[in-house]
Structure 1
């Protein structure tokens, strides 16, 4: 994915962009256009309705490389992108994975997990009021491995079993 834009009137925006790019359509039955990417992004931004307030905007931060460096043996190998995504009132984890099909096709799956259910002493751990970089740092630096395996699908099965086993051994017996 190269560029994302959220617009409450997305159907209208799509119709306007299709109208503007009519002469660049590859096939009248398909939604493919032969048009420079930088100009397409500029046109999309030009046609989009302005956001009323800066705080209403969608923000995201990619943490893939940081997670790969911190958990090189745990992260699922099919993951191509991990992002913290925020809009006012919501914070979620977006995991994009890819699998190859028949040696030449790529199936891409984007899994979004709302992070509102994660609490620390009765307070949300990831808050939408916080800067997206702050929440991204919390995921990478402050969120422990056991919490990761219990709330996300970032790690492969063997890593999850290993982490769960270590956690069980560390629990005090009653």
Structure 2
């Protein structure tokens, strides 16, 4: 009987990480829980919903390939998603074909729901300098100034200063908007 060879795609997917069923389950759980929050995290850096979703998905794809070597997946995914956003913006001038959607499961990013106030905060954040946006996004997601500094490669004092500037700007903008509606 002739031996049937698997297609190159099947062969490639069989060698991808994570290798154990527990690791795959852990990855799936993190994807379900973190994908909506990661998308919003990227939006806090000035991305629109589409850009943020694309960056977050790219980060998870890279995480899948390196899953067994990642020590702190939540921080790792945030760093990589931010880098993916920057990469997308560099490539924005090149046209891409629209790919058809394939039927399948439900993407956790569809669970991203924002109230009007959060949409407003995101638009104000988009006007901030990048370092202030980064500090705000990381700390807002529950990372300490020290942890944020480690992941961004800056001092904790720089994170605190940028965070204070971001909060001041947000407060001033909020005050101006309140005065404009009265």
**What TM-score results when the alignment is normalised by the length of structure 1?**
0.29
Greater helix percent: which structure?
2
**What TM-score results when the alignment is normalised by the length of structure 2?**
0.28
Greater strand percent: which structure?
1
Ranked by relative contact order (alpha carbons within 8 Å, sequence separation 6 or more), the top structure is: 2
